[in-house]
Structure 1
Amino acid sequence: MNFKVYFVLIYSLPVFACEVTDLSCKLLEKFNLYGIHQNGDIIIGGLFPIHFTVTLPELTYKTKPEMLQCEGFNFRTFRWLQMMIFTIEQINKDQTLLPNIRLGYSIYDNCRKVPQAVRAAITLLNEIDNMSKNYKCTGSSPIAAIVGDARSTQSIITGRIAGQFRIPMVSYSSSCSCLSNKLEFPTFFRTIPSDSFQAKAMAQLVKHFGWTWVGSIATQDDYGQYLVQLFNEKIQNYGVCLAFTEVIPKIPSRRKILQIVDTIKRSTAKVIALFAGVGDIIYLANEVVRQNITSMQWIASETWSTAALLATKTNFRSFGGTIGFAFRKAEIPQFKEFLLKVRPSLTPHNSLVNRFWERMFGCTFNLSDNSTRLSATTISKSICTGQEDIEEIDSVYSDVSQLRVSYNVYKAVYAIAHALHNLETCDPDKGPFLNKTCANISHFEPWQLLHYLKEVNFTNDFGEKVHFDENGDPIASYDIMNWQMDADGSVKIVTVGLFDASATSGQELLIDEDRIIFCDGTTKIPRSICSENCPPGTRKAARKGQPVCCFDCLQCAEGEISNQTDSVHCFTCPIDYWPNQEHDQCVLKEIEFLSFEDTLGIILTTIALFGTGITIVMLVIFIHYRNTPVVRANNVELSFLLLISLVLCFLCSLTFIGQPTTWSCILRHTVFGTSFALCISCILGKTIVVLMAFSATLPNNNMMKYFGPLQQRASVFACTFLQVIICMLWLATSPPVPVKNTKYQSAKIILECDVGSATAFWCMLGYIGLLAGTSVILAFLARKLPDNFNEAKFITFSMLTFSAVWVTFIPAYISSPGKYTVAVEIFAILSSTFGLAACNFVPKCYIILIKPDQNTKKHLMGRAVAASK
């Protein structure tokens, strides 16, 4: 930036030269500057961009360069200049603010170009104008302060120059946030907010309407580049992405304009933020209209949001519905009357007023000096009389309905006046300077006025408080504007909201959405997104190499949901829940267990109770016929004990039905293990009795005396007690517990009992298997013994049935899902129990009840004898 300043100074200096003699400076060549001047006790400088552009001369070493020529008169900015003059005259008439001081002014046109702006600034600082001939080159500054500049780039350069001399500058339109740096610009103040606030306001506007895919266009200057950078940073904090960023060159280029328009057409973004001045936008706007680009929602910076030059019926087709930010406006009494009183005759020899008059009425003054260059076009125009009526012309100049920048000029002049007032009314011996001295209003230094300007704090006639913070910035507030079509076909710019940076966080932006007309001519908010929102049940997956706003929507994986729009992640449901079909909410999983209400549970319960009843009936029969030969033939006590164990085996199956609890899990396994150990122990005892009985019939063999009733009861007790010990150790170390199994069926919760210690569980089953295996072997050995009613054969059949059921049970148990696993286990228990009961007791009951004639000792002994033969 310093290089840029030095360059324009070098470019500007050759225009004049000074011969220093006795501290005087003589102008050798006049500047081609347009200005208005008025003498006074204190002179306030002013810089305004009255012309659009500058015609650059051809530079060659052969000839002397021609003067820069300003072209394109701007009536709106000329109104700003008039506001400064009007305000100064109002202050001069005020007998309370500066009653003994008359303010003067020296105002120049900088033509919106850096070289001309530097020339104007140097002219102000050195009291050089195009009317004088001798100038003072030393001493204090001829001006107390400068009102200006309009554009940030010019203010940066002028601010650095003025800062070297401690001369205050109060800008009315330079909004670059860089100017808040007091180290670089110690004397700079402004009456408009910094762009950092405008960037924040724009970002909140984008967020408010839900736009996530936005393009941006900015001028290639400090204003545009700083503002677009701030805007991009702010919107990214809100998750908004930039579709594109384009730059409007300072030197008009049709090729670049066509490139920007092509980018707009190709982009899927429907919202574009445009940061540029009116003069920079004209060429782009014309091309957009020419190519009939419509349905784009434009967001306007404060530089063009209220520009009548752009808000035309022709442009409305492409720019209708534009939403922008504008400075707060005010209706200033008597200002319009002041504007209409302007006459060339009141300011003789003032070329700026003359050019205004010529452009307003399309005429020309036939001047003899060189201030107006004649051309064929000029000669063809009528001669201006100076008496033309401004009221007959409907122009931007006389339109005081949108006094926004003009109002900021008004506040800037009054801020300087109040600073002068405070300087004048300083109490002696209480001043802010060395030894508590005060400045002399008749002869003060600019740095002294700078001190008071920092402390300015007043409320103007419109109720607005004016003061500057430590960065020289005012309280930030903007009106939100909307371009709408009036009933008569004209374009009206309507205020639809407010941004107040001093409001509570989150409450700064106030918008009346019902009053907004968008780009499509309706009140419906347009959409501008790179990718459609991901509905609940899906998650966003970023596209490689594209901004985060561009993504694909992927269905949540099995067992996961997302219950929000545009969810980044899917999350797993709690263990008791499962995603619904849409994967957008967790629903309670189906809980599965074999209950008493299920059809299968009812059937198994009925079978178990039926088996229990049948066994009890057989027990009653055996008790009733306990003295009969059939019952007494093979150890009555073991038969009774076996029947009781079979009842327990039938009943233990009921503990497997119903919702698993801690106690039911403990009971189902321990009762099952103990009951079957008792049952098999009884059968083993009966088998041994058969073998002993047969051995007792052999000569010299009396084994039964070693395995009498006491020994039989002891063996059964010992075999059963060992199983009890195993179960007790199991419960003491790691007992069975109820668990929720989701391993095999993720959509269901299978309530089941976990065995706890697998070792103890298999020891319990292994012990039953050991007893059963021993019984099978002994029964097989005794199957052909001539026992009573084929007792050995019945035991053999019962144990083979028992073994077959449980061997078949293992693969069926493993392959059965959910509650059917428990059903298979119950079925194995019931089947094996029925097998034991049927093989051991049904034949005896048949003899007792159906064939009582065979229930005799004679028949029993006869059969035994026949078998022995």
Structure 2
Amino acid sequence: ERHFKMYLILFTMLCSLSFHFTFFLVNSVLVKADNVCELLGKFNLPALVADSDITIGGLFPIHFRVIEPNLSFQAAPELSRCEGLNFRAFRWVQTMIFTIDEINRDPRLLPNITLGYRIFDSCDTHFQALRAALTINNGQEASVTDYDCAPSMYAVIGDSGSTQSIVVTRLLGLFGIPLVSYFSTCACLSDKQEYPTFLRTVPSDYYQVRALAQLVKYFGWTWVGTIAGDDDYGHYGIQMFSEQVKTFGVCIAFSEIIPKVNSKKKVVEIVEMIEKSRAKVILVFAVEQDMELIVKEAIRQNITGVQWIASEAWVTSALLSSQDNSILIGTLGFALRRAEISGLQEFLHKVHPFKAPQNPIVTEFWETLFHCYLGNDTSQSKPSCTGLEDLKTHENIYSDVSQLRVSYSVYKGVYAVAHALHHLFACQPGQELIVNDTCPNTVNIEPWQLLHHLKRIKFTDSFGNEILFDPNGDPIPSYDLLNWQRKVDSSTQYETVGRYGSALGSYHELHVYGQSIVWNSGKKKVPQSLCSVNCLSGTRKAAREGQPICCFDCIPCADGEIMQCIKCDLDYWSNSQNNQCILKEIEFLSFGDAIGISLATIALLGTGLTITIAAVFTHYRTTPVVRANNSELSFLILFSLALCFMCSLIFIGQPSVWSCSLCNTLSGVSFALCVSCILAKTIVVLMAFKATGPNTNTMKWFGPMQQRAFILLCTCIQISICVSWLITSPPLPVKNTTYQSGKIILECAIGSVKAFAVVLGYVFVLSSLCLVLAYFARKLPDNFNEAKFITFSMLIFFAVWITFIPAYVSTPGKYTVAVEIFAILSSSFGLLLCIFAPKCYIILFKPERNTKNKSCETL
């Protein structure tokens, strides 16, 4: 712990020394020696300077790039040089000068105070911007006597690039000097812990990214490629965009970086990636110089059919739109709100090198614009400039004021500083006090005092727009959605086709005028950008392994699912196209089915046959055959068999509560009655044989009364079982959807499996007793072989019901009912034919055997 504290103290001391050394290094650019301040070194940066009461700094990318000297340090390094004049940025410079001039002429704003400026070129690079910031802060005079050093710098307008602004604001923040950017949009700069002195008059990329993400969502693009410049602006922008669109289900097809160091190979690879990808919507979050590299290579490779989405850094780029870049027609992007600044164009036309003969920036501007040379060097191949060249007759990006968006942002930034200074100087006791309830010393104000007021300003500019900063130093977000369209003269124009932001009363509202948009290559149809085509109705998405969720295969939906494989409700099923749920077909064994008709016909035939036999027995009731077979039991058997045939009809038709309750219970009672009668008949046969001896009275123990009591008892047992079944868990009609998914099987649920098993089991017990007794009595000299036929009938009965159980369990749907009906009919016919057919045969066809003598012979 003691060592840790020691290391902590040492680390704190090192941090403190580092900070003081940095502070000393920056502030010691001027060194005192013999009452003279001398610069340790000079950058000799070209500048536009007009010192006055209060000087405002300016940083602009007047050139595209910087050429660094040899830094081997074997000799004194040469000064760095910038090249590639940026006419658009030079217009921004002149807009700042114009705005300061307009403020100085306004008697209501900063009366009796004149603003001056010191504007330097950042060359669109962070290290050159840092050099310019040091020069702005300290001046670049060789020496100043009596400590009359450079005028105090209270605020700086700049820079355009986010990376440059990050570097500059870290430096200026050490002195509390506010940096008001007109085009640095990186969301990272909203962090006031990191950049407390940074403000801007352009919305943060946070809002631009939200707008771009909503645009992608609006048009249904789910497969988007991204390209970023190799700087903070590009990196942060693409990172935020990727996070935003992910919430909308959009996938990034590829993400490439445009190198700042011109790499032909890398640019070629990026364009080849664009050509190979299925993504037809490409977002480029970069500055215009980076985008120019991509466009040139895309033209060389003849890339077409790409819908470009521009970040605000190049969406109004005259550098790109002025060229014959037909591949960019249809480009969409969000731009800052524009304004028409009165008097600016006339001011721009007044710029002339003879008015600033010693200023190399103005000289270079004139020479580059008119392709001539100012000077006496006869070795130049260019013609000499006459000074009579007229900016009014020369169309150029510089003098084009039709799209004053960034220029308007510069305009607002200068006015914001002016209003903050006005509030500072107009301080009254009790209003906007800084410390100790006193107003600041206006003779020697500090930059941090200006920053205090700058964060709190709120005013309406000459265009009716409200200017203010939120706690993060950001303005109210507001964008125009621009579309690059080809005019009749083949030039490119930026057509406003939508809005986003506060202009619609909400920071997050997007409104698109869809019919006004011209798409890539001049088409009117919204392009598609999908990794996989949307699945048709009746299919579903199946993710591809190792690929984003936007890439999928379409698999047909299973039966019972529609649209995107949404399951239909329980009573519904999908149609053949899987695009609509329709009511399931309701199925049950009806009287209209062929099998239903067949079974009903057989049941009626069985009933009719039973009635016919009963009629025969009634007609011949006095004959020996009928009398010898206990006609009472025979009629009971016929009655029970008729019930069996008739109850099978209850199974047919739409199940209801009463039909479900009756079908199984009535058939169970009917069979119990039938088998009880047959069992009684079998017992009678056995008793009759034993009663043939002399002096035996066995039959008195099983006479007619005992037989009736026995049958009643056996039947009542079955009735009590069925009543208990109906009370505790009765069979009920149900909709069965498991057998056939596309159909609803209406059937009777048995309610209690145990009760159903007991009913069948009881009949099985009675049948088993009957079979055993009949088997023992089969060879007895019974009347007309009664026991033998009972044995045959019981064997058929058992065969039917033993095969019934597996068939009943395995048969699906309405055929389950058919199996049960078939079992009832088969067993009923078996009993009817085996027991009564032989007797009817004798009665009807062998009457000679239907005599008392023949009956006695069999005994």
Letter in 1 for 2:435: L
**1:652 and 2:647 matched:** yes
Residue pair 1:798, 1:840 contacting (<8 A) in 2 also = yes
Residue pair 2:560, 2:741 contacting (<8 A) in 1 also = no
Aligned to 1:319: 328
User: Is there any run of 5+ residues in structure 1 with no aligned partner, and where?
Assistant: 368-373, 565-569
Deviations 1:388-447 (CA, angstroms, capped at 9, x unpaired) = 211121111111000000000111111111112222332224342223222344432111
- Aligned residue runs from structure 1 range 492-511, under 5 A: 492-500=493-501, 508-511=509-512
Aligned to 1:94: 106
- Aligned residue runs from structure 1 range 393-404, under 5 A: 393-404=394-405
Q: How many residues align?
A: 841
Residue pair 2:186, 2:205 contacting (<8 A) in 1 also = yes
**1:114 and 2:109 matched:** no
**1:173 and 2:156 matched:** no
- Aligned residue runs from structure 1 range 184-263, under 5 A: 184-263=194-273
Aligned to 1:864: 855
User: Residue 586 of structure 1: CA displacement?
Assistant: 4.4
Q: Given the alignment, which residue of 591, 607, 610 partners 1:612?
A: 607
Q: Which shows bigger deviation, 429-438 or 200-209? A: 429-438
CA spacing shift, 1:17–1:684, aligned 2, 3 Å: closer
Deviations 1:658-690 (CA, angstroms, capped at 9, x unpaired) = 233444333222211111010111111122223
Deviations 1:687-722 (CA, angstroms, capped at 9, x unpaired) = 222332343332232211111111001111122223
The 2-side partners of 1:526 and 1:790 are apart by 94
**1:723 and 2:718 matched:** yes
Letter in 1 for 2:653: G
CA spacing shift, 1:162–1:669, aligned 2, 3 Å: same
Deviations 1:779-837 (CA, angstroms, capped at 9, x unpaired) = 34444555555544554454344344434545554554432232122122123223333
Aligned to 1:601: 596
Residue pair 1:35, 1:352 contacting (<8 A) in 2 also = yes
User: Residue 745 of structure 1: CA displacement?
Assistant: 3.6
Residue pair 2:784, 2:858 contacting (<8 A) in 1 also = no
CA spacing shift, 1:431–1:755, aligned 2, 3 Å: closer
CA spacing shift, 1:173–1:106, aligned 2, 3 Å: same
Q: CA RMSD in A?
A: 3.1
Aligned to 1:708: 703
User: Residue 748 of structure 1: CA displacement?
Assistant: 3.4
The 1-side partners of 2:627 and 2:296 are apart by 121
Q: TM-score, normalised by structure 1?
A: 0.90
Deviations 1:723-766 (CA, angstroms, capped at 9, x unpaired) = 23433454455544444445544443333334344444333223
The 2-side partners of 1:150 and 1:746 are apart by 67
Residue pair 1:634, 1:689 contacting (<8 A) in 2 also = no
Deviations 1:296-322 (CA, angstroms, capped at 9, x unpaired) = 111111111111111135212x22211
CA spacing shift, 1:550–1:375, aligned 2, 3 Å: farther
Residue pair 1:175, 1:195 contacting (<8 A) in 2 also = yes
Aligned to 2:301: 291
- Aligned residue runs from structure 1 range 253-402, under 5 A: 253-316=263-326, 318-366=327-375, 379-402=380-403
The 2-side partners of 1:785 and 1:27 are apart by 144
Q: Given the alignment, which residue of 45, 68, 72 partners 2:84?
A: 72
Q: Secondary structure at the match of 1:609?
A: helix
Aligned to 2:6: none
Q: Which shows bigger deviation, 669-678 or 547-556? A: 547-556
CA spacing shift, 1:811–1:162, aligned 2, 3 Å: closer
The 2-side partners of 1:20 and 1:454 are apart by 36
Aligned to 2:822: 827
Q: Secondary structure at the match of 2:130?
A: helix
Residue pair 1:140, 1:445 contacting (<8 A) in 2 also = no
User: Is there any run of 5+ residues in structure 2 with no aligned partner, and where?
Assistant: 1-14
Letter in 1 for 2:126: V
The 2-side partners of 1:783 and 1:460 are apart by 123
Aligned to 1:82: 94
The 1-side partners of 2:427 and 2:655 are apart by 93
CA spacing shift, 1:22–1:499, aligned 2, 3 Å: farther
Q: Which shows bigger deviation, 282-291 or 687-696? A: 687-696
Residue pair 1:277, 1:303 contacting (<8 A) in 2 also = yes
Q: Which shows bigger deviation, 679-688 or 814-823? A: 814-823
Residue pair 1:475, 1:502 contacting (<8 A) in 2 also = no
Q: TM-score, normalised by structure 2?
A: 0.91
Letter in 2 for 1:331: E
Which consecutive segments of 4 or more residues in structure 1 shift more than 6 A? 135-141, 504-507, 846-851
Q: Secondary structure at the match of 2:166?
A: helix
Deviations 1:208-255 (CA, angstroms, capped at 9, x unpaired) = 111121111111111111111111111222222222111112221222
CA spacing shift, 1:756–1:382, aligned 2, 3 Å: same
Aligned to 1:762: 757
Q: Which shows bigger deviation, 46-55 or 30-39? A: 30-39
Letter in 2 for 1:365: L
The 1-side partners of 2:233 and 2:378 are apart by 36
The 2-side partners of 1:76 and 1:100 are apart by 33
- Aligned residue runs from structure 1 range 549-628, under 5 A: 549-556=550-557, 558-559=558-559, 561=561, 563-564=563-564, 570=565, 572-616=567-611, 618-619=613-614
Residue pair 2:65, 2:124 contacting (<8 A) in 1 also = yes
Residue pair 2:158, 2:165 contacting (<8 A) in 1 also = yes
Q: Secondary structure at the match of 2:228?
A: strand
User: Residue 618 of structure 1: CA displacement?
Assistant: 4.6
Aligned to 1:61: 73
The 1-side partners of 2:800 and 2:451 are apart by 107
Deviations 1:628-660 (CA, angstroms, capped at 9, x unpaired) = 655444334323322321222122212222233
User: Residue 573 of structure 1: CA displacement?
Assistant: 4.7
- Aligned residue runs from structure 1 range 80-159, under 5 A: 80-126=92-138, 128-129=139-140, 133-134=143-144, 142-159=152-169
The 2-side partners of 1:562 and 1:137 are apart by 86
Aligned to 2:49: 37
Q: Secondary structure at the match of 1:383?
A: coil
- Aligned residue runs from structure 1 range 674-713, under 5 A: 674-713=669-708
Residue pair 1:50, 1:111 contacting (<8 A) in 2 also = yes
Q: Secondary structure at the match of 2:606?
A: helix
Q: Which shows bigger deviation, 225-234 or 503-512? A: 503-512
The 1-side partners of 2:676 and 2:771 are apart by 12
Deviations 1:331-357 (CA, angstroms, capped at 9, x unpaired) = 111111111111223234222212211
The 1-side partners of 2:623 and 2:145 are apart by 153
CA spacing shift, 1:191–1:791, aligned 2, 3 Å: same
Q: Which shows bigger deviation, 785-794 or 716-725? A: 785-794
The 2-side partners of 1:320 and 1:37 are apart by 41
Letter in 2 for 1:172: Y
- Aligned residue runs from structure 1 range 836-847, under 5 A: 836-841=831-836
Letter in 2 for 1:239: G
The 2-side partners of 1:478 and 1:71 are apart by 32
The 1-side partners of 2:795 and 2:40 are apart by 133
